[in-house]
Amino acid sequence: MKAEQSIGIFDSGVGGLTVANAVKSVLPNESIVYFGDTAHLPYGDKSAENIRFYSEQIAEFLLEQNCKIILIACNTASALAYKTVKERVGERAHVFNVIDPVVRLIKDANHLRKIAIIGTKGTIQSNTYPQKIREEIPEANVVSLATPLLVPMIEEGFIYDDISNAIIRSYLSQIDLSEPDALILACTHYPLIKNQIRKFYNFDVEVVDSGNAVANEIKAFLQENHLLNPNTQPRHRFLVSDYTPMFKKIAEMFFEHRIELETRDIWKK
């Protein structure tokens, strides 16, 4: 690995852009190669076998793009494919997921005891978050709820309107999610509606997402291994497996400039 190499980030769609934006803010000199697997979104209702296949193929593609870091910016893929991707990548790059940094953040905030989790079906059914949290905080009361409508809602651009507010209210009104100390957004799409979620709880609940947590851990790793990029003119590339106008719109919103969106079918032989 060399300092000049890029940070590779992937997700099923626009959600991982919330993590990419955090990486850009914390590590402004680093070049980013982002791959959104929009042809297969959402990952939350796919089989574990398919998610592992997609994740391995995308990781190989990002290695071909000369990436020193592979960041799985998807909670479902982090839960179901992290070990597989890590084994596949080996010593060629360092692999990060978006779950472990959040668990460490929750552990460090030792006042949090009732912890609610919302995510896709794949993430919630994997039971990864509750298991990891209870390993670190045995006394924690952990509740979780699958919220499968949120990802397609966000991907279709229904944000800050009556439709999204109604869906959010329907999910969060369920009794298991009442009065938590913290709510973990176990999907990287959900920070796009974070303010709506915080408003539902009257801004009294700590709403936690993975963006800054994982970005800071990547920064610490790069510093420790002398891999921080000295380049002050980083280059960011955005690729998708199927073109969607919403992806381009949100990417330009986060990165504050016009982007060239590349469409790439990495499964075509």
CATH number at residue 234: 3.40.50.1860
Structural domain contains residue 1: no
Domain membership of residue 62 as a residue range: 6-97+212-263
* Residue 244 or residue 211, greater confidence: 211
- Identify the pLDDT of residue 268: 62
Boundary (domain end) residue, out of 195, 210, 225: 210
- The pLDDT-based confidence of 260 (bands split at 50, 70, 90) is confident
What's phi and psi for 230, nearest 5 deg? -75, -10
d(CA 197, CA 183): 9
Examine the pLDDT at 188 and tell me if it is beyond 90.
no
- Identify the pLDDT of residue 175: 65
Q: Chain-wide mean pLDDT for the chain?
A: 91
Examine the pLDDT at 269 and tell me if it is beyond 70.
no
Which of these is catalytic: 23, 74, 103, 106?
74
**Residue 117 three-state SS:** strand
67 part of the active site = no
Tokens of 84: 């597989």
Average pLDDT over residues 175-201: 89
Structural domain contains residue 120: yes
d(CA 262, CA 242): 9
Structural domain contains residue 268: no
Average pLDDT over residues 31-59: 93
Examine the pLDDT at 129 and tell me if it is beyond 90.
yes
Structural domain contains residue 133: yes
Which of these is catalytic: 98, 105, 153, 187?
187
pTM of the model: 0.90
